[in-house]
Amino acid sequence: METIKPLLLLIEDDPQFRLLLSTTLESRDYRVLTAASGRDGLDAARHRQPSLLILDLGLPDIDGQQVIRHLRSCSELPIIVLSARDRESDITQALDNGADDYLTKPFSTAELMSRIKALLRRVAKLPGGGAQESFQVDELKIELTRRRVFVGEREVHLTPIEFRLLSVLVRNAGFVVTHRQLLKKVWGASYVEHSHYLRIYMGQLRHKIEADPARPRYLLTEAGVGYRLNTGEN
């Protein structure tokens, strides 16, 4: 039923900012449910079944991280986290706790819209689509099942680890994947503190895929947080 507008839940304690976001979102064909505190937000998430949550990390009653953990224990509700700029550790923690994406304040509404859209699209794809076959952005083409990677016409040969690393990013294309998540998925849980593995392999991967590894087009660094495979959308 495509005519029903998606319901978004917004948990934000600042009334002005809440008003701004809800007005903007409503003008873009979303229905918006607002909550000023973590507890009200959790209640609303349980009873109203929203399609997506926009969560400010600094809440007056319970910690935003706790809200994420609560929700993740029982639901797959997509979460976008809002945070102040200088709190990379909060962002990383939120993502590791299960948030899907983040924005640092201040951000443009256009950016928020594109993140919401991308996240809703990803959720829509998941149930029916099954495993993703291939991924393409600009010149870069990755065939996941056949384990082949092309840049333009040229086939790029990757080592097993390089391929695993790239495929984790492909499966989350457009979204940031934290260092911890990557280390865990590619090397295993005992490697989560060995960030130098990630740097070295990411460097190798860039040298094989990027035209100018110092100004990457595809494999973007989110300093202090993780990596994002560019989908060319934002």
Partner 1 sequence: MNIAKLEKSFDRQRSEFPKIYWLWGIAFPLLLTLIDWPFRDMLTPSNILLVYLLGVFIVAIRLGLWPSILASLTSAAAFAYFFAPPIFSFAIADQENLVGLAVMLVVGVVTSNLAEDVRHQARIAEHRERRVSALYRLSKELTEACSEKDIIDIGVRHLHIEFGARAILLFPDGNGTLHYPGDAPLEIVDLTMAQHVFDQGQIEYDSTGPALYLPLNDSTGIMGVLALESVNAQRILIPEQRELLGAFINQISHALKRARLAEQANDATVKMQAETLRNSLLSSISHDLRTPLATIVGAAGSLETDDERLSKDSRRKLVGAISQEAQRMSDLTVKILEMARLEAGEVILNRQWYAAEEIIGSALHRLDKTLKNRQVNVQMADNLKLIHVDAVLLQQVMVNLLDNADKYSPAELPIDISVATTPFSLSITVADRGPGIPENFQQQIFDKFFRIHAESTQSGVGLGLSICRAIVEAHGGDLQASNRNGGGTLFQLHLPILECPPTIAPEEKDRCDGND
The CB density around residue 52, as the number of other CB atoms within 10 Å, is 20
φ and ψ of 149, to 5 deg: -130, 135
Closer of 5 and 87 to partner 1 (Cβ) = 87
Q: Is 211 in the site for partner 1 (CB under 8 A)?
A: no
Site for partner 1 in 57-116 (CB under 8 A): 85-86, 88-89, 106
Q: How far is the CB of 141 from partner 1 (least distance, A)?
A: 15
Site for partner 1 in 121-140 (CB under 8 A): none
Other Cβ atoms within 10 Å of 145 Cβ, number: 9
For residue 222, state whether it binds partner 1 (rule: CB under 8 A).
yes
* Burial tier of 223 (Cβ tally within 10 Å: 0-12, 13-18, 19+): exposed
Sign, CA dihedral 227-228-229-234, equals negative
List binders of partner 1 among 169-208 (CB under 8 A): 194-197, 199-200, 202-203, 206
| Smaller CB separation from partner 1, 62 or 144 | 144
Q: Say if CB 134 and CB 141 are below 8 A apart.
A: yes
Task: Report CA Rg, the chain.
Answer: 19
**Binding track, positions 139-158, relative to partner 1; x by CB under 8 A:** --------xx--------xx
Neighbouring CB atoms inside 10 A of 143's CB total 13
Strands 31-35 and 140-143: unpaired
Chosen residue from 15, 129, 152, 224 binding partner 1 by CB under 8 A: 224
- Taking CB under 8 A as the criterion, the residue among 6, 58, 98, 216 binding partner 1 is 216
**Taking CB under 8 A as the rule, does residue 215 contact partner 1?**
yes
Binding site for partner 1 (CB under 8 A): 85-86, 88-89, 106, 147-148, 157-161, 163, 194-197, 199-200, 202-203, 206, 212-216, 220-224
